[in-house]
């Protein structure tokens, strides 16, 4: 087993890494492109299937999913020319929750197919068949032994649920005034978050090991944290400020404190060691590569991007907040959140860590 732990710095990347198809995610995808490409070529050369079955899990509705698939098709075409093998056909499954705007992806398909035709080699254009698969990746999505390659970027840090351990036996929050792990949270809050991630990621690995062929690969990227400290500013700032924005709304009498206390984020950023430990104890996969990439933000851009960051977090949190608190607080809440983010990001940059793990299914 070769496990690499390399930390690379990338300063001044634009949007927040929680955003749907944000610039930082695009940048991180670009930074790990060589790893994804190496993995798929290695898989193809070792198996040479007639059809490659690929899934992107948590694809969202932006352009990142199709650009990753386009890149895979392009480099495999080049590789097949180089080694005089026939180009495989590609069956591509784009997965996200049923509420995802799949239609935005589907309307982009004609342009995607046209581009493949234009870039096709003398051997002809590649055959790529794309389908949407709505459903949670915390449940089965595909038949047994049906996939060769799974890609998932910036989705696995979203937990299947808010950890039940955040509430006492009467259903009261043990993390009052906060929405995620914070410096003032009891230790049991950190433990509850880790336990939920451990349970979810273990379950995810078990499900995917059923769906992948023997020797099949996964390239998984997720938000992570650098050290043991769960309360490092880089790890918690966005959620601390969201809790502060909620506190402003409570002080205006717009919403009850008790209701805010019962709202928590179903998110966890693991360390490399935690990911490695879970993969090893689950036992279905070998780790080919494990790496953390630090994505910085320079403060001169922060003034411009504070509000944009608020908007991108709003895109993910709004349906949940609306469901719990109603329509009325959404605009003032995110207005205040944008102001707080601008102030804080102007003081000091936030460096997010992207974890990338490449897994090979054991027989």
Ligand X SMILES: C[S@@+](CC[C@H](N)C(=O)[O-])C[C@H]1O[C@@H](n2cnc3c(N)ncnc32)[C@H](O)[C@@H]1O
Interface contacts to ligand X, rule CB under 6 A:
20-21, 25, 58-60, 62, 64, 95-97, 100, 136-138, 153-155, 158
Which residue bears the tokens 């690929």? 54
Which residues on neighbouring strands pair with residue 237, listed in sequence order?
none
Q: Report the nearest approach of ligand X to the CB of residue 22 (Å).
A: 7
Specify whether the CB–CB gap between 91 and 53 falls below 8 A: yes
Q: Are strands 352-361 and 212-224 parallel, antiparallel or unpaired?
A: antiparallel
DSSP state of 218: E
Closest distance to ligand X from the beta carbon of 265 (Å)? 13
Distance set, CA 163 to CA 97, 193, 362 (Å): 19, 6, 31
Q: Diameter of the chain by CA atoms?
A: 70
Give the shortest CB-304-to-ligand X separation in angstroms: 21
Q: How far is the CB of 139 from ligand X (least distance, A)?
A: 8
Shortest Cβ 59–ligand X spacing (Å): 5
Which of 63, 284 has the CB closer to ligand X? 63
Structure letter (DSSP) for residue 343: H
Q: What's the min distance (Å) between Cβ of 103 and ligand X?
A: 14
54 vs 260 by CB, closer to ligand X = 54
Q: Which residue number, 89 or 282, has a Cβ lying nearer to ligand X? A: 282
170 DSSP assignment: T
- Tell me the closest approach of the beta carbon of residue 155 to ligand X, in angstroms: 3
SS (H, E, C) 37-50: HHHHHHHHHHHCCC
Choose between 67 and 248: whose C-beta lies nearer to ligand X.
67
**Which lies closer to ligand X via its Cβ, residue 39 or residue 185?**
39
**Rounded least distance, CB 101 to ligand X, Å:** 9
Long-range contacts of 204-210 (CB under 8 A, 24+ apart): 204/137, 204/138, 204/156, 205/278, 205/279, 205/282, 205/284, 205/285, 205/359, 206/282, 206/284, 207/137, 207/138, 207/139, 207/140, 207/141, 208/150, 209/284, 209/285, 209/361, 210/140, 210/144, 210/145
Closer of 263 and 267 to ligand X (Cβ): 267
Judged by CB, which is closer to ligand X: 69, or 76?
69
Output 38 or 203, the one with its CB closest to ligand X: 203
Token pair belonging to 9: 């710095």
CB of 152 or CB of 173, closer to ligand X: 152
- Give residues with Cβ within 8 angstroms of 277, minimum separation 6: none
Rounded Cα distance between 80 and 100, Å, is 35
The two three-digit tokens of residue 214, written as one number:
């023997």
* Nearest residue (beta carbon) to ligand X: 58
The C-alpha atoms of residue 213 and residue 206 are separated, in whole angstroms, by 13
3-state secondary structure of 74: helix
**Minimal distance, residue 19 CB to ligand X, in Å:** 6
């Amino acid at each position: 087993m070769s496990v690499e732990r390399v930390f690379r710095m990338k300063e001044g990347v634009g949007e927040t890494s929680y955003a749907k198809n944000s610039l930082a995610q695009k940048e991180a995808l670009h930074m790990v492109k060589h790893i994804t490409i190496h993995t798929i070529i290695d898989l193809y050369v070792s198996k040479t299937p007639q059809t490659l079955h690929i899934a992107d899990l948590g694809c969202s509705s932006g352009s990142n999913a199709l650009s990753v698939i386009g890149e895979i098709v392009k480099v495999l075409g080049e590789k097949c020319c180089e080694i005089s093998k026939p180009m495989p056909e590609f069956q591509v499954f784009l997965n996200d929750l049923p509420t995802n705007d799949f239609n935005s992806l589907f309307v982009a398909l004609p342009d995607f197919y046209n581009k493949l035709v234009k870039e096709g080699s003398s051997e002809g254009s590649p055959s790529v068949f794309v389908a949407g698969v709505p459903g949670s990746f915390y449940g089965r999505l595909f038949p047994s032994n049906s996939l060769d390659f799974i890609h998932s970027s910036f989705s696995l840090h979203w937990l299947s649920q808010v950890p039940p351990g955040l509430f006492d036996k009467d259903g009261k929050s043990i993390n009052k005034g906060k929405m995620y792990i914070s410096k003032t949270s009891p230790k049991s809050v950190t433990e509850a978050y880790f336990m939920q991630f451990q349970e979810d990621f273990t379950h995810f690995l078990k499900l995917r090991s059923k769906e992948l062929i023997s020797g099949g690969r996964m390239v998984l990227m997720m938000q992570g944290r650098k050290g043991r400290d769960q309360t490092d500013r880089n790890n918690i700032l966005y959620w601390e400020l969201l809790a502060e924005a909620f506190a402003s709304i409570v002080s205006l009498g717009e919403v009850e404190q008790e209701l805010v206390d019962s709202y928590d984020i179903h998110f966890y950023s693991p360390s490399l060691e935690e990911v490695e430990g879970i993969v090893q104890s689950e036992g279905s996969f070998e780790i080919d590569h494990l790496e953390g990439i630090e994505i910085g933000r320079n403060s001169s851009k922060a003034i411009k991007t504070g509000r944009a960051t608020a908007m991108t977090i709003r895109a993910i949190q709004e349906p949940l907040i609306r469901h719990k608190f109603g329509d009325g607080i959404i605009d003032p809440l995110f207005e205040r959140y944008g102001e707080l983010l601008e102030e804080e990001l102007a003081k000091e940059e936030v460096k997010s860590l992207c974890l990338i793990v490449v897994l090979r299914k054991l027989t």
